[in-house]
Structures are given as structure tokens and as C-alpha cells.
Structure 1
Amino acid sequence: MASQRLKRTLRGALTATAVAAAASLVAPVAHADPQPTPNNNASEAVKKLNELSKEAEAAAEQWHKAKDDLGARKAEQEKATADVQQLGKDVEQAKAKEAEFRVQVDKLTNASFQGARFNQLSALLVSDSPQDFLDQMSALELLANDNKQALDKLAGVKAQSEEAERKAKEAQTKATKAAEDAAKIEADLAKRKQELDAKVNQAKEQANRLTSAEKAARRSTGEEVNVGPGSGKGYEALQVALRQRGKSYVWGATGPDTFDCSGLVVYAFRQVGVQLKNRATYGLINEGSPVSRSQLQPGDMVFTNNNNHMGIYVGDNKFVHAPTEGDVVKVSSLDTQQFYAARRV
């Protein structure tokens, strides 16, 4: 029995050796490099696009703010430059008056000096009558009064001249400062534009990765709305904004065919005769009067996502806005955003 078990063990070992030897003679299998896995997770793709879009939108609003600041500094520079020119004319006029009154004062001073030697006693001695004496004294008093008035006027125009020169220098300093600030903002504007372009390109690339169904969903004009009666410029602007539903989002656009978020709001109010002073959300949030979320009315401007996005309140917790890349002007629930503030124009 033991010999039989030994034989079976030897046969098994020989068989395993033969199989291993045969396997070593077979050509190795070629393995191709692994292919990139297609992104079939739609929610992740959309989430990534939303993140990139928020970054791009924040950069866009900062860029708009820099442009608003540049416009303000240039306006200050123009006003200060105009003030310098006007104040320069004022200085010339004041100096001309000063020279005119100085001549008059010099003449009166000389006459007063001559009159001082013709005192009351002299007037009495040379007068032919009491009336003549009174006439002589009246002339002396008149001369003294004229001299005082002339001196007062000279002091006044001299003070005006000095004040005009002070204001001219101050205006020149403001003009120089505004020009320097504008130059700095322009340099910063170029930098922010590069940052914006980079983020926009990233968002566009991500938008192209969406499926056809996801792209179609983003082209929807959003929730149905039933806006009740209202009044005021904000309500009129809301009607304009609602008519833009379906138009594409484009960074930096202010209509009439494409919009970004603040561009839509500025456009809507401009169409009803309200020229908002700012273009960026950072400036628009200071226009009008503040409104709490619980007191929102159709037509109020609403700011979301840490003031990097905005739209116009429709009612029923909804607002019309231009969302982001690959999207269109639509109505959405405010619950899809992080509410930040609201203003009533």
C-alpha cells in the first residue's frame, strides 16, 4: 500500500512539472494600456460644473466691480481736472481784482497822507466861514472812510485769491490721485480679466462634458410662474426680465440677446427708465433700500451665494435669473441658492 501511494505521488509530481514546462513555452499575453473611464456619473459632472461656475461668477463680479471702480475714479479725475481749470480762472480774476484795489488803496493812502498834514487846525485857519470849515472837515472824514473801505475790500479780495489758490492746489492733488488710482485699477482689471477667462474656459470645458439630457435640462426656462398684480419700477423690471427667459447666459453680457446675472438685472431696470449706478453685485447691493427675506415683494433685487449671484424676485419663493454657463435665463426656487440679501429700488 505504501509503494502504491509513493507511485501516485511521483506520477502527480511529474504531471505538474510537465504542465509547468508546457506553460513556459506559450507566448506571453499582450496587455493594452487602460482606456480612460468615461464620466457616466451625471450628478458629479453637474456638481463639478456648478462649482466651476460659482468660481467663474465670483471672478466675473469682481471684474465688474473693478470696472465700476475704474469708471468712478475716471469720473473723479475728470471732475477734478475741470475744477482745476475753473479754479485757475478764479485765481486769475481774484488777482486782477486784488491788483485793481491795490491801485485804489495806494491812491487813497497817498491822498490821506497829504490830508493828514491838512489837520483840523489848518482847516480852521484857512476857512473863510464856519460852513467852509465844516466842508473841509467833511472832506477829510470822507477821505478817511473811503480809504478804510478800500482797505477792507483789498483784504477781502486778497483772501479770495488765497482761497482760490488753495482750492486749485487741492483739486490738482485730487486729480493726480484719481489718475494714479485709475492706473492701478486698470492694471488690476487686466489681471482679473485673465483670471476670469481661465475660470470661464474651465467651466465651458466642464459644460461640454455633460450628457445631452443634462444639457437639455439646463436649457429649460424653469418653473412656471403666476405673477400677481403689482406696481413700481421693480415690478416693471420683473416683467422685462421674465420676457428674457430662454436667452443664453454669457459672462459679461448685458443683453439684449445674452446675459450674465447682474447684466440681466441692470438691463431690466434700464428698460423701465431706471439707470442703476453700478454693474457688479458688489455695488448693486448698496442701491435702493434693504429688504428682509420675509418681506420680499415681486420686483425686489435678490442677492445669493455670498453676493456673487443675483436676480429679481418673482414671488412664491422664486426668482428670475441668468444662472451660469450652458444655461439660460429662467425662474428657479430661492431654495436652490444661498440667500444673502435683498434690495428694493
Structure 2
Amino acid sequence: MGTHRTRGAAVRAAAAFAAVATLLTVPGPVRAYADPTPAELDAQVATAWDELESVVEHYDTTRENLAATRARVAATDAQLAPLNQQIDDLQRKVGTIAAGIYKSSGEGPATALLSGESAGSLLNQLALLDHVARDQDQAIQALRVVTDRYETQRRALKNLERQQSTQDRELTVTKAVIESNLAELQALRTKVYAARASRSGLRDPYVPVFPNDAGGTALRYAYQQLGKWYEWAAAGPNTFDCSGLVLAAFRQAGRTLPHSAALQWKQVRHITRDDLRPGDLVFYYSDIHHVAMYAGDGRIIEAPQTGQQISIHQMDHAPIVGYGRVV
């Protein structure tokens, strides 16, 4: 997603929040016609959250991509350093041999040839120098081809880093909007659903089966986090967002995943719904801004949204894009 799309999502999120606020502050005379039902409020808050979660996930994705680009620049620099050193060493070697021949011939090779002193020896030395220089020149040229390729790659990476750094700075500003909207969303949810402050009595009692594999280990960790609160851009140990919970869970299984639902989708092996087993991942919405962990029996464990706790839900509560397995 581009920066303009992120800004647009932030604006739409703010508009959705405003719509919820309008529903809550309808003047007395028209209240009989405009008083929202719980279902209408749920729909308004869900719309606001869908827009906002896109911004949150884009923020996570941009930070992940920038970190990866910087790591690639550092790796390229590490590869360039020894190559440049090898070129310098080869050039120094040829120079040392040439200097040695010059010194051994007194005033220089031409003088030695004219004087007739050790001409055979000098010609042998010159032939050796020519042979060594030719071999070293080929090696230098080969090294320069590799070095040029790395330099070209480095320039492209630095350009990408500059672009991503610009996005990162812009998203730092967007972050303030996100946090403000999140605070407003939480206030609205509290105002409308004060009784939801504690949801332990509503928790799905389902207990997953934990397979003896990486997915099972991750699922067990996610299950142990039930009741902990959602916090955007968090990956534990006390709060999580959706992709942060998945990241932390699979870290327990020795697997490394990015902190982004969209990037996780690109990294997993895609499977069909019929292939789902506990510990697999379920991805939601066309821009893939939400991810959950399949718990079995048509259920998922997820960090839903701000103001809610990690919980077990029915899998088909939102549009599913696809399914994935961490291998």
C-alpha cells in the first residue's frame, strides 16, 4: 500500500469515528428516529476499526521493509570491503615485483640491456613480470566486475532506503493520528458498551488440540495469552496486535515471522480451507490487514482490536482472503 492510500485510510477512519460520535450525540427532539441499536453501533465501530487497522498494518509493514533494506545495505557493504581489499593487494603485488626488478637491474632495465650485464637474467625477470602482471590484471578485472555489481546493487538499495525512510517519517506523523483515533475508539466503546470492561464470562470455553509440531507449539502459546489486551504495534509479552500475537507465538516454536499480516501472508505456504489444522494462519480482508491462528472446529484465536482481549472466535466472522502454514 502506498503512502497516499495510508493517508486516505486514516481520513476514512476519522470519518467513521465521527459517524459513531454523531450517533451518540443526537439531539433530544429527533432521538426517537436516530437512537442507534446495538447492531448499528457494532457496525459503525467495526467500519472505523477496519479502516484504522489498515493504517496500523501498513505502519508495521513499512517498518519491517525499512529494517530489511538497511540489513541488505549492511550486508552489501560487508561484501564490498574484502573485494576492494583484494584489488588493492593484487595491485600492490604487481608493484612490488616491478620494483624488485628495477632495483636488481641498477639504473633500470633499459640500461641493463644496453650494458649487456645479466641480459638473460633481466629478460627472464621481465617475462616473469609480464606473466604475473597479465594474470593479476585478469584477476583484478574479474574482481572489478563483481565489485561493480555490488556497487550497483548498493546504489539501488540506498535509493530504496531513502524512499522507505521518507515513508517512515510520514508514518511517524500518521502514528499520532492513529493513537488519537485509537483513544477515541476506546472511549466510544466504553461509552456504548460499559458492560464490556470485563468479558471473562463471555469467553468461548473451547480448548484446542495442540499438535506436536511448530504450529501446535505456537497455538499453545497463543492460547495461554487469552484475556490479554490488544495494543497496536505490540508483540508481547503483555499486549499484542494481531500480527504481533502470531509473531510471538511462532517465535516460541523457533520460527521467525515479520510483524505484519501482509508480509506474513507472503512468507507462509498457502493451503486450502480443507487442509487447515490447528496452528495454521487465517488471513482477512482484501488488503490483508488482519491475521488469526486457527484453533480447530471452525474457531480462531486472535488479538481482535483496541478495547478487546485476545479471545477465541468463529473463523468466519470477517472476509477471509486465504490460509497459510508456517514451515
TM-score, length basis structure 2: 0.76
Q: Is the Cα contact below 8 Å between 1:39 and 1:45 reproduced in 2?
A: no
Letter aligned with residue 60 of structure 2 = H
Structure 2 residue 298 is matched with structure 1 residue 302: no
1:233 matched to 2:214: yes
- Aligned residue number for residue 75 of structure 2: 79
Correspondence 1:331 to 2:312: yes
Aligned to 1:153: 132
Q: CA deviation at 1:84?
A: 3.1
Partner of 1:47: 43
- Tell me by how many angstroms 1:85 deviates: 2.5
Contact residue 49 and residue 207 of structure 1 kept, 8 A: no
- Deviation, 1:224, is 2.6
Q: Report sequence identity in percent.
A: 21
1:90 corresponding residue in structure 2: 86
Between the aligned partners of 2:200 and 2:165, the Cα distance in structure 1 is: 36
The whole-number CA distance in structure 2 between the counterparts of 1:191 and 1:218 is: 37
1:249 aligns with 2:245: no
What residue in structure 2 maps to residue 179 of structure 1?
A: 158
Bigger mean CA offset, 294-303 vs 178-187: 178-187
Q: Specify the alignment match of 2:61 in structure 1.
A: 65
Q: Are the counterparts in 1 of residues 302 and 311 from structure 2 also a CA contact under 8 Å?
A: yes
Matches within 5 A, 1:203-222: 203-210=182-189, 211-212=192-193, 215-216=196-197, 222=203
**CA distances 1:244-278 after superposition (whole Å, capped 9, x unpaired):** 011111111111111100000001111232222x2
Q: 2:163 matched to 1:164? A: no
- Cα distance in 2 between the residues matched to 1:194 and 1:221: 37
Name which of 294, 297, 304 aligns with 1:313. 294
Whether the 8 Å CA contact 1:104–1:150 is kept in 2: the answer is: no
Paired amino acid for 1:267: A
CA distance in structure 2 between the aligned counterparts of 1:214 and 1:241, rounded to whole angstroms: 25
State the SS of the aligned residue for 1:208: helix
Pick the aligned partner of 1:291 from 262, 271, 281.
271
Aligned partners of 2:210 and 2:278 also within 8 Å? no
Report deviation, 1:101. Answer: 4.3
Contact map agreement 1:302 1:343 (CA 8 A) in 2: yes
Q: Distance in 2 between matches of 1:90 and 1:159?
A: 13
Residue type at the aligned position of 1:320: I
Corresponding letter in the other structure for 1:273: G
User: Secondary structure in 2 aligned to 1:303?
Assistant: strand
> SS where residue 286 of structure 1 aligns?
helix
Gaps of 5+ in 2: 1-26
In 2, Cα distance between the equivalents of 1:77 and 1:35? 64
Q: 1:105 to 1:293 in 2, by over 3 A?
A: farther
Q: Which amino acid aligns with 2:261?
A: T
Runs of 4+ in 1 over 6 A off after TM superposition: 104-109, 142-147, 217-221
User: Match of 1:335, SS?
Assistant: helix
Instruction: Report the AA paired with residue 89 of structure 1.
Output: Q
1:111-161 deviation line (CA, Å, top 9, x unaligned): 9x96xx9xxxxxxxxxxxxxxxxxxxxxx8x99888666533321211222
Tell me the CA shift for residue 52 of structure 1: 1.1
Q: Distance in 1 between matches of 2:201 and 2:133?
A: 77
CA distance in 2, matches of 1:318, 1:151: 76
Kindly name which structure, 1 or 2, has the bigger radius of gyration based on alpha carbons: 1
The amino acid across from 2:133 in the alignment is: L
- Please give the TM-score of this superposition, normalised by the length of structure 1: 0.72
**In the TM superposition, what is the alpha-carbon distance from 1:187 to its structure 2 partner?**
1.6
Deviation at 1:167, TM superposition (A): 3.5
CA distance in structure 2 between the aligned counterparts of 1:296 and 1:144, rounded to whole angstroms: 78
CA contact (8 A) 2:56 2:178 kept: no
Tell me which residue corresponds to 1:18: none
Deviates more, 1:215-224 or 1:291-300: 215-224
Matched, 1:279 2:275: no
Q: Distance in 2 between matches of 1:101 and 1:215?
A: 84
Look up the equivalent residue of 1:179 and give its one-letter code: K
* Structure-1 separation of matches of 2:186 and 2:40: 12
**Equivalent residue, structure 1, for 2:20:** none
Contact 1:281–1:308, Cα closer than 8 Å, also in 2? yes
Give yes or no for contact 1:48–1:206 (8 Å, CA) kept in 2: no
Q: Which residue in 2 is equivalent to 1:261?
A: 242
Q: Please give the alpha-carbon distance, in whole angstroms, between the structure 2 residues aligned to 1:219 and 1:36.
A: 37
Q: CA deviation at 1:315?
A: 0.7
Contact 2:109 2:122 in 1 (8 A): no
